[in-house]
Amino acid sequence: MRLGRIPYINCRPVYSAIDRGIVTVPAEIVTGTPAELNDLLVAGELDVSVISAVEYARHARDLVLLPDLAISCDGPVRSVLLLSKREVGTLDGRTVLLSASSRTSVALLELLCREVWKVRPHFAEARAEAVDLEQLAGLPHDAVLVIGDPALLLSARRTYAHQVDLGAAWKQWTGLPFVFAAWAARRASDPEAVRRVHAGLLASRAWGLAHLDDLARVASTETRVSEADCRQYLAGLDYAFTDKHLAGLTDFFRRLAAQGLVPDGSLRFLQVA
Q: Residue ranges of the domains in the chain? A: 2-71+177-258, 80-174
| Residue range 2-71+177-258, CATH number | 3.40.190.10
**Strand bridging mode 95-98 / 122-125:** parallel
Please choose, from the candidates 200, 201, 192, 235, the residue with its C-alpha nearest in 3D space to the C-alpha of residue 216: 235
Q: Are 204 and 24 in contact (CB under 8 A)?
A: no
Q: Which residues of 98-108 are buried (b: 16+ CB within 10 A; e: fewer)?
A: bbbbbbbbbbb
Nearest in space to 53 (alpha carbons), one of 244, 195, 253: 253
Interatomic CA distance for residues 180 and 51, integer angstroms: 9
The CATH fold assigned to 80-174 is D-Maltodextrin-Binding Protein; domain 2 (3.40.190)
Quick one: which of 104, 87, 203 has its CA closest to 142?
A: 87
pLDDT tens for each residue of the chain, 273 residues long:
999 999 889 999 999 999 999 999 999 999 998 889 999 999 999 999 999 999 999 999 999 999 999 999 999 999 999 999 999 999 999 999 987 667 899 999 999 999 999 999 999 887 554 455 556 656 788 999 988 877 887 555 667 889 999 999 999 999 999 999 999 999 999 999 999 999 999 999 999 999 999 999 999 999 888 999 999 999 999 999 999 999 999 999 999 989 888 887 667 777 654
**Amino acid identity, position 235:** A
Shortest CA distance to 47 belongs to which of 61, 58, 62? 62
Does 80-174 match 2-71+177-258 at the fold level?
Answer: yes
Q: With beta carbons less than 8 A apart as the criterion, state whether 112 and 259 touch.
A: no
The pTM assigned to this predicted structure is 0.91
Buried b (16+ CB within 10 A) or exposed e, 151-186: bbbeebeeebeeebbbbbbbbeeeebbbbbbbbbbb
